[in-house]
Structure 1
């Protein structure tokens, strides 16, 4: 088949798979894969609703390209709202709870050459992905990646704590896009009301923040008020809810009093 014929086949295949913009996706796969056999395999996987980042093996996030596998959450553009907010405050020591691919903390360390960080996760395979990304982006010498269930194996105090925890409620899971089924379930839902991880993070933050340090978390669009109340109850001040570019609540932040 000619290139035009292969692209036409790809568009038809992707359209049959229910993709909203099969032309754009076909062209993206052609540019990034190219070779006939690999292209056909990539199109078939994408038509089966395997996330594009898994098909290509990467996701562009903030200013860098991150390796992404089925062992980590696919970094979403809206998570850049958290990175942007974090870069507005001073920090030399940062903790990322549930780091996954490392997209958040690696992006922060790449912007602040004097900063050092700790990124925790309960997934050993996820930690390996984060480590590979840290090495590729040049911050591996300033990042420690321990296996830890939230704060369990974390010591010291930090200027900044960030997290994008599992916040999808159990009863919301069946309504998610088919692509989500290819991501690690434990990175998506707490198997509860979507707020249990925030209860742990907010309660533990004051003892692990220096005076004046900040806690910042990504949230689902309906969770802002509940998480803001948790931060206030934990003794944090200057609590604020930040919207993403679509105007939806996306980040809640609070500061430990000086």
Structure 2
């Protein structure tokens, strides 16, 4: 039987900074072990059925399918979330949205809305950190709402709820102390849509018109009717869209408009407060 190290050595994934780690995640999942187990016991033999599963998963990864979709899970914040092809894979950059939301509102009762919730990542991270908040997540895709609800149930969070809504359409006159969103923001002509992991992610969750701002424009134009006075709107956007998003926020009457930098030094989220 092959050993752990021999299988990892012969994984033959496309050369990238994450190739070795991708192989480790896939082999650990096939074995039902942690990646630290692989590093501690590289000489251990791998049973045939586990080696076969590893080979099948490697083949999917060689075709470019994201590891998160192959494994059906992804870490975000302090949580491990179920993921599926109906939703975007939660990314570390989006944790900036969570950090900023936690800084802006006190840990006292408040209602927070997560627009386009997908896996529920943002909503659930906020709910776990602020038990006094009532966090509502909406998505127009029914399968995404069902997935977010499964994540909520598995995490045992009673202060989060998910429902189907195309942005604000099903929310009536509901108002919130804060609205957060990681909406689609990639221009339709962006060549990166044909590269890497995003080829496997739902285009409807990525693309927003010719300049990538269609959904952000809609959210900003309608947000004031769903915020209490003094409430905050926080939006993730592309690395080069900060100036445009700030201008939209100012145009629609938001105050204290600003952007925050991600770990790479790019403007990744912009925010404003309803006067």
| SS of match in other structure, 1:120 | strand
Asked if the contact 2:193/2:199 (under 8 Å) is kept, the reply is no
How much has 1:176 moved relative to structure 2? Answer: 4.7
Task: State the SS of the aligned residue for 2:190.
Answer: helix
1:239 to 251, 257, 260: 257
Sort the Cα spacing of 1:20 and 1:146 in 2 relative to 1 into closer, same or farther, 3 A: same
Asked whether the 8 Å contact 1:227–1:252 carries over to 2, the reply is: yes
> Which residue of the other structure, out of 63, 75, 87, is the alignment partner of 1:48?
63
CA distance in 2, matches of 1:98, 1:165: 6
Q: How does 1:123-138 map to 2 (within 5 A)?
A: 123-138=141-156
Larger radius of gyration: 2
Query: CA offsets per residue over residues 29-61 of structure 1, 9 Å max, x none?
Result: 222222222111111111111001111111110
Are 1:209 and 2:227 matched, yes or no? yes
User: 1:242–1:176: structure 2 CA closer, same or farther, 3 Å change rule?
Assistant: farther
1:194-233 equivalences in 2 (<5 Å):
194-233=212-251
Report the Cα distance in structure 1 between the residues aligned to 2:18 and 2:95, rounded to whole angstroms.
24
Give the direction of change, closer, same or farther, for the CA distance of 1:138–1:173 in structure 2 (3 Å limit): farther
- Misfit runs of 4+, over 6 Å: none
Point out where structure 2 has 5 or more consecutive residues left out of the alignment.
32-49
Cα distance, 1:191 vs. partner?
3.6
Distance 2:220 2:187 in 1: 18
User: Which whole-Å CA distance do the structure 2 matches of 1:179 and 1:239 have between them?
Assistant: 33
Instruction: Give the structure-1-normalised TM-score.
Output: 0.93
Write the distance in 1 (CA, Å) between the matches of 2:22 and 2:199: 20
Match of residue 103, structure 1, among 103, 121, 124: 121
List per-residue Cα deviations over 1:200-244 (Å, max 9, x = no partner): 111111111111110000010110011111111111100010000
2:25 is the alignment partner of 1:8: no
Superposition TM-score, scaled by structure 2 size: 0.88
Taking only aligned residues, the RMSD between alpha carbons, in angstroms, comes to: 1.5
Instruction: Tell me what 2:46 maps to.
Output: none
Matches within 5 A, 1:1-258: 1-3=1-3, 4-10=5-11, 12=12, 14-15=13-14, 18-34=15-31, 35-90=50-105, 92-139=110-157, 141-155=158-172, 156-174=174-192, 176-257=194-275
How many residues align structurally? 252
**Distance in 1 separating the partners of 2:21 and 2:136:** 38
Question: What is the aligned partner in structure 1 of residue 36 from structure 2?
Answer: none
Gaps of 5+ in 1: none
**Helix, strand or coil for the counterpart of 2:103?**
coil
Structure 1 residues 175, 124: closer, same or farther in 2, change over 3 A?
A: closer
Contact 2:126/2:135 (8 A) holds in 1: no
